[in-house]
């Protein structure tokens, strides 16, 4: 029986095929007087370098791929995911469990370990295909894609009646506000919140906003900050504003640093909308007001029931759904041009990791960097929602709420 022929090295096979192909091409070029001898010699030297480097390139790629895969898997499975919620375990009234019940990071040790294992899988499922060494949404080299002036001008002229006016950088004074609560008197520390804060601040600055940051404040202090921010004269020469809230949360709103079950410290959604409505913040009248919230909203999965609206301080006509001003010359909707994007559906939790931050914020940053140059904001939000659609381990679905925008809002980064 004849000896079995050894299998040819695939790298050498590729090198041989490439050399044969190029030799035939060079012969044809010489025959047709396209190349002379000197030119052929120079091209031949370049081909030799390319062919000889093929084997080293293949070996380096194989080595790097193995190393990157190892680092990625080790890092991913070392992460411990924590719940972005403060809600206490209402079924356990024991004082001995006070330190653990003040945080919904877990109900007991066995559930916590199980949640961590599930969360590691969720990170891989929820996010776009991972980069070799870390999650794509957290890549430091993932740059914001800029809009070309030609595209901006075309949209501005052809869709003027459909989009909000966007000011160009010269003379524009965009402002954004981030409120990030990390440390609480009665609740757990929000691991990973520094990552969210850094990433969101950098993104907003790259989008042309001067960012005001407030950290670790109570509900009353948050309200005072909002009133002060709404009164900033820069809004008069701005085309929009963005408000970002990152904290523990309940169905009722965002938790201040003094929150506890017996004595709530909550900033309610209605308070935010009232401060920035057309009655109280006329500098932002007819301009987009974007509200982003990273916080839990409970954990039962039930259907949300909207809060009852309070009486308006101005003369409000329920038939025309608008507020009539005292000068009897103009009228405007009290609440208009808002959009709120929240990290989860009502009664549900939001997830975050210590290293990569929250799933919601990381996905939001990634999609804004990738798509805001050509998609309006609500469509970018829908793309973020789609990234969570197939998560089967730790369910979380961001929601677009309380939308009163009458046009499309394009950020046009770079303009």
Q: What is the pLDDT of residues 349-378, one digit of tens each?
A: 888 888 889 999 999 999 999 999 999 999
Average pLDDT, the chain: 75
- Average of per-residue pLDDT across 139-144: 69
In this prediction, residue 330 carries a pLDDT of 42
Residue 400 has pLDDT above 90, yes or no: yes
Q: What is the mean pLDDT of residues 2-22?
A: 63
Q: Active-site residue 347, yes or no?
A: no
Amino acid 352: pLDDT: 83
Higher-scoring residue by pLDDT: 260, 3: 260
Is 248 a residue of the active site? Answer: yes
**Could you give the percent of the chain with pLDDT greater than 90?**
51
What pLDDT is attached to residue 284? Answer: 98
Query: pLDDT digit string (tens) for 35-93?
Result: 676 776 777 666 666 656 555 555 555 455 555 544 544 444 444 444 444 443 333 33
Per annotation, catalytic residue among 186, 296, 323, 367: 296
pLDDT at 187: 93
State the CB neighbour count (10 A cutoff) for residue 4: 6
* Residue 54: predicted pLDDT: 54
- Considering 248, 259, 367, 376, which one is annotated as catalytic? 248
Specify the pTM. 0.64
Reply yes or no on whether the pLDDT at 14 is more than 80.
no
């Amino acid at each position: 029986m004849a000896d079995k022929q050894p299998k040819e090295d695939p790298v050498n096979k590729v090198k041989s095929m490439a050399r044969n192909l190029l030799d035939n091409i060079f012969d044809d070029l010489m025959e047709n007087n396209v190349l002379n001898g000197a030119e052929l010699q120079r091209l031949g030297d370049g081909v030799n370098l390319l062919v000889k480097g093929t084997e080293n390139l293949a070996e380096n790629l194989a080595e790097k791929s193995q190393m990157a895969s190892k680092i990625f898997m080790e890092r991913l499975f070392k992460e411990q995911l924590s719940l972005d919620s403060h809600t206490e375990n209402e079924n356990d009234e024991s004082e001995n469990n006070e330190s653990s019940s003040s945080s919904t990071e877990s109900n007991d040790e066995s559930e916590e370990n199980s949640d961590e294992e599930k969360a590691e899988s969720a990170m891989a499922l929820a996010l776009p295909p991972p980069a070799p060494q870390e999650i794509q949404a957290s890549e430091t080299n993932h740059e914001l894609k800029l809009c070309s002036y030609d595209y901006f001008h075309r949209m501005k002229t052809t869709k003027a009646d459909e989009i909000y006016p966007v000011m160009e950088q010269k003379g524009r004074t965009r402002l954004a506000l981030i409120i990030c609560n990390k440390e609480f008197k009665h609740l757990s520390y929000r691991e990973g919140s520094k990552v969210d804060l850094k990433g969101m601040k950098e993104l907003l600055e790259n989008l042309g906003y001067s960012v005001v940051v407030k950290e670790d404040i109570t509900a009353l202090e948050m309200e005072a900050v909002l009133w002060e921010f709404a009164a900033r004269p820069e809004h008069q020469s701005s085309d929009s504003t963005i408000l970002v809230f990152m904290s523990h949360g309940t169905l009722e709103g965002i938790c201040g640093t003094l929150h506890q079950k017996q004595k709530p410290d909550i900033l309610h959604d209605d308070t935010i909308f009232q401060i920035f409505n057309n009655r109280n913040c006329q500098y932002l009248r007819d301009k987009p007001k974007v509200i982003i919230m990273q916080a839990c909203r409970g954990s039962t999965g039930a259907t949300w029931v909207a809060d009852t609206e309070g009486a308006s301080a101005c003369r409000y006509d329920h038939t025309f759904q608008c507020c009539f001003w005292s000068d009897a010359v103009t009228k405007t909707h009290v609440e208009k041009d808002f959009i709120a994007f929240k990290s989860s559906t009502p009664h549900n939790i939001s997830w975050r990791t210590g290293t990569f931050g929250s799933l919601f914020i990381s996905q939001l940053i990634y999609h804004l960097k990738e798509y805001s140059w050509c998609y309006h904001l609500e469509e970018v939000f829908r793309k973020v929602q789609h990234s969570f659609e197939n998560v089967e381990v730790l369910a979380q679905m961001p929601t677009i709420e309380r939308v009163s925008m009458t046009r499309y809002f394009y950020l046009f980064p770079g303009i």
